[in-house]
Structure formats: structure tokens, C-alpha cells
Amino acid sequence: MLKTSLREAYAKALIELGEKDKDIVVLDADLSSSTQTAKFKARFPERFFNIGIAETTMVNVAAGLATTGKKPFVSTFAMFGTGRAWEALRQSVCYPNLPVKLVCTHGGITVGEDGATHQACEDLAITRALPNMTVIVPCDDIETEEVIKKIYKLKTPVYVRLTREKFPRVFGKDGLLKELFNIDYDYSFEIGKAYKLKEGKDINLITCGLTTSQALLAAKELEEEGISASVIHLPTIKPINKESLLKALDPSKIILTIEEHSIIGGLGDAVLHALSDQDFKIYKHGIKDEFTISGKAWELVKYFKLDKDGIKEKVKKILKK
């Protein structure tokens, strides 16, 4: 199983875009070696700004640059970019609807040993609540590159959540779709679109980010046990294309959303909102209303039952009801 870095994919896409457009500028909060934006700095030092440990200032500077025609990408850890700088995002970026792209790494529990203070499990909720903000959670490196190149063209604010840990690749000739199901998926990222990765008839698994790969692994083993689960990847948390989502759902009328985020305000609630006028039984699986703990990344995924075994357990409980 090939695991790849979303951070490295981000840096690669930034440099490719930077080669074509001299108006692209990158800002970081003294974490460029971790966010990988240091690679952009090495190639375009005159268009890179290290604002220091001052995330609110960083976002405000990016907003100012955007008003001059620059195309700013802002990066730091998810906890700091969406938490510490939230007011600046609201007042300086979203209120005037400026094209600032906030691409944060180290989202979710897979930050690992840094513990609850650094594990942003509320970031999707607080960015999703902001008017004019688009919120995206890619599942692998291939999708990350596509996302960055797509949002570059938007003239509105965007939040993209990336990770510290490497994820299993989903798409491509060496991705899980090919490895597990021999599916050659013709993938192209579109904002709001729901991607039906696997057909099923007993339950719909709706996922984003890390949990997409884990849901595919779970679906493979469930299939061997006689349970047919569809896997629907929904990378855009806001906005959701309702028609696309409805088209992707199987007839079972049972949905389980799975996310590396609090069950409050993230993917699950976004799906509930989108389908509130539909006849579905919707269950949410993610981080409960609690703070997380320190540990190795993949041990935490297992502890919070977001790995394939935890997903299988949840599916079986739902289908027994």
C-alpha cells in the first residue's frame, strides 16, 4: 500500500503554479519546513514572506496583498491557521470576500504526539461557518495537487486541510482503487462534487481525507463477509453539490459519514444539512465531543476507531438495528 505526503504534493503544485503566475505569493508563520512551503521559498524567495509566529498578522497581510491583485497562499498548522487567526479570517478575508487561500497542514488527530493542543478537530466546523468560505479536505497526493490548481482560479476565500502523516494513495495506477477493486477511476476534481468510488447496496459510507482510504479497506473486507458498502468520497465540505451527492447514493437509504474531525460541525453535519429534506437514516462517525490524546498517528486512528476495523464495527452495529 503506497502512502504519500499531501504536504509535498501541495509544495509541488505551488511551485508549478508559481512558474506560470508571478502574482502568486506565499506566506508562512515560521513553520515552512513543516508545511513544505520552504520549497516555494527556495525557488521564489522574493515572493515568500515568513511573518513569524503571528498567524493573525499573517492572514491580515495576505488580505492586504489580495487587494493589490496578488494571489496569496497562506500556510501554517491547522490549529493555528483556523483557531488563532479565525477573527482575521472572518473580518479581513471572508467579510470582503477576498481570494486568500488558507492551506493548513497538521490537521486532525494524525498530528500524533503533539497531542490535543495541536490536533485540530474543530477546524472544518469553524471555517464552514464562515460566509464566502469554501472548505476542502483531499484524500491523497493526487487529489491535493488537483485541488490546489483548481482553487488557484477562484476569486473567493478557500480553506484546504492537509496533514502531517502520509496517507494511502487512493487514485492512480498504484492507488487503493486499483489495488483493492481493480478500478481505473477517471478522476478530476470539481468543487462540491461527490465521487462514488465503489458500488454497494447495503449502506453508503461518505468520507473525506484520511477516512476515504480506510473506508475502502473496510469495504473490501465487508464485501468478503457478505456486506455490500458503497464508498462515496466527498472532499468538499462546503459547498456540497446536492444533486451530485444524491446521484452517488445507493438505494439502501442508510448513510454513515466518517471523518477525522469532531462529529459536531464537520462532514457529518454538512451531509445532514444537505439531505435534510430527504428520506435517509444518517449516522455520524468521528471524534466525539471530547478532547483528543497524544500518541503515534496510526495508533490514534485505531484508538478513535477511524481505521478499517473501527469502520467495520460501526457498519455492523448500524445494520443490526
Q: Which of 204, 135, 142 is nearest to 167 (CA)?
A: 142
Q: Of 116, 82, 34, 76, give the one whose Cα is nearest residue 295.
A: 116
**What 3-state DSSP class applies to 244?**
helix
Q: What 3-state DSSP class applies to 3?
A: strand
Question: What gap in Å lies between CA 144 and CA 296, rounded to an integer?
Answer: 24
- Annotated catalytic residue, options 16, 46, 55, 259: 55
From 259, 68, 245, 235, select the one nearest 159 (Cα to Cα).
235
Q: Report CA-CA distances (Å) from 236 to 95, 115, 117, 208.
A: 21, 26, 26, 8
The count of other CB atoms within 10 Å of the CB of residue 180 is: 19
CA-closest candidate to residue 205, choices 316, 125, 303, 315: 315
| Nearest-angstrom CA–CA distance, 272 and 44 | 43
To the query of whether residue 190 is one of the catalytic residues in this protein, the response is no
What is 84-126 written as a DSSP string?
ITHHHIIIIIITTT---EEEEBSBSGGGGGG-TTT-BSSHHHH
Positions marked catalytic = 55
